[in-house]
Copies of this chain bind each other. A is one copy, B any other.
Amino acid sequence: MATVDEHVAHVASLVRPVGRETVAIDGALGRVTTDAVLSPVDLPLFRNSQMDGFAVRSADLPGTLPIAGEVSARPSDPAALEPGTAVRIMTGAVVPEGADAIVPVEDTVVDGDRVTIERVRTPGEYVRGRGSDVRQGDELLPAGLRLASRHLAVLAAAGLATVDVRALTRIAIITTGSELIAPGATPVLGQVFDSNGTALAAAVRAAGAVVASRVHVGDDNGAMLQALRDAAAAADLIITSGGISMGDYEVVRETLEPLGARVGTVAMQPGGPQATAVFEGVPVLCFPGNPVSTQLSFEVFLAPLLREAAGLPPALHETRRLVADVNSVPGKRQFLRGRAGDGGTVALVAGPSSHLVAGLAASDVLVVVPEDVTGLKAGDSVEVWHL
């Protein structure tokens, strides 16, 4: 029987790093840069005015100057400023050669074609220098950055319409079990609604990966083999639920074990039965089929890898105090469902059994009871993982 830590390491060794792709900046929110991005230009691109007002030579102030023209923020290549004159200028407009300061309109008195400015000005006042934000060749963004709106804004401002980012991990989902029917259908006795397809697809997306395909197969080894082939053609990674225990009609085990799958048990509860394989070059993670086991297997073994690849922060792990006693199974790491409470406390919300999907839905943390612990008392500290 493998330990949780051993299986975590084994899964990490199977999951390969993602590739890279070039995407439009307008589709790059939340993607992760592969490389540092250097600015192809100076920003601002040109010397421009910070205010609506007058462009002047500071040496001409104070004084009354003839107004020699106007520069708007519309594209323009203004004539150089003649000494002893002023030109009207709008915010963002090109500052004419020869001008070294902008006087805000509210600090001026205009009389016909002349403007009076009563105070001296420091050279450079209200002038945004070319390259004063960033110089051509400077780093705009570092490698490994998860792109937020302000990062995309600076790429746009520098004229970059695309950015190189990590590819998304494409995951194929195969759920198994002839007893499963789709939500919305009408069950007969013995049938249950498939929640694993929904849960895994949503968990994949929440972890920053994409669902490449999703299919349900019954107890049919031929159908399972075909599903694996289809999945391997479309995905970087295949995940399955169900069909790996020692009973009959275990399609995942029966299909993959002859191909070299590693089928075994991990010392955890829920989620003990676990298998892995490599099918046509694509790693396959096989989770047990009980809904809580499926979801916790994803959370424990795959979610951290996917979140890291997607540049998402790891789930918060912290220590809290139990509000009631807890029994546990020796030799296995237990993942109990809990709710974080006031004052650093945590309460269990459902029993330990792997079928309690409503209990899991009502929880907001997993309470982690280590392998060597058989019981904890109210007030004891325990590790919790936020969901």
Contact = CB atoms under 8 A, between A and B. Distances in A.
A67 to B, nearest CB: 15
A187 B159 contact: yes
B149 A295 contact: yes
Nearest to A177: B73
A189 interface: yes
A197 B188 CA distance: 54
A249 B72 CA distance: 9
A188 B45 CA distance: 10
Contacts of A72: 248-249
B156 A90 contact: no
A357 B43 contact: yes
B92 A198 contact: no
Residue in A133, A153, A157, A162 with the greatest tally of chain B CB atoms within 10 Å:
A153
B358 A154 contact: yes
Contacts of A94: 189-190
A29 B202 contact: yes
B161 A182 contact: yes
Contacts of A46: 189-190
Contacts of A26: 198, 201-202
A91 interface: yes
Interface string A29-53: 1100000000100011110101010
A361 B150 contact: yes
A206 interface: yes
Interface stretch (A12-20, A74-82, A111-119, A306-314): A74-82
Given A73-B178, A358-B140, A152 B190 contact: no
A195 interface: yes
B150 A360 contact: yes
A43 B358 contact: yes
A387 B159 contact: no
A194 B156 contact: yes
A358 B156 CA distance: 11
A183 interface: yes
Interface in A156-184: 156-162, 177-179, 182-184
Contacts of A289: 92
A357 B73 contact: no
A44 B148 contact: no
Nearest to A351: B132
A50 B249 contact: no
A73 B190 CA distance: 7
A245 interface: yes
Contacts of A92: 177, 179, 192, 289-290
A356 to B, nearest CB: 5
A126 to B, nearest CB: 10
Contacts of A353: 50, 128
A357 B157 contact: yes
A128 B357 CA distance: 13
A28 to B, nearest CB: 8
16 contacts: A45-B187, A52-B245, A73-B247, A74-B179, A75-B188, A75-B189, A92-B177, A92-B289, A92-B290, A134-B358, A140-B361, A148-B387, A149-B203, A153-B196, A155-B198, A161-B183
Interface of A: 25-26, 29-30, 39, 43-46, 48, 50, 52, 72-77, 90-94, 128, 132-134, 138, 140-141, 147-162, 177-179, 182-185, 187-203, 205-206, 219, 245-249, 289-291, 295, 350, 353, 355-361, 363, 387
Please give me the 7 A-B residue pairs with the lowest Cβ-Cβ distance, nearest first. Answer: A161-B184, A75-B190, A153-B199, A149-B202, A154-B361, A156-B195, A134-B358
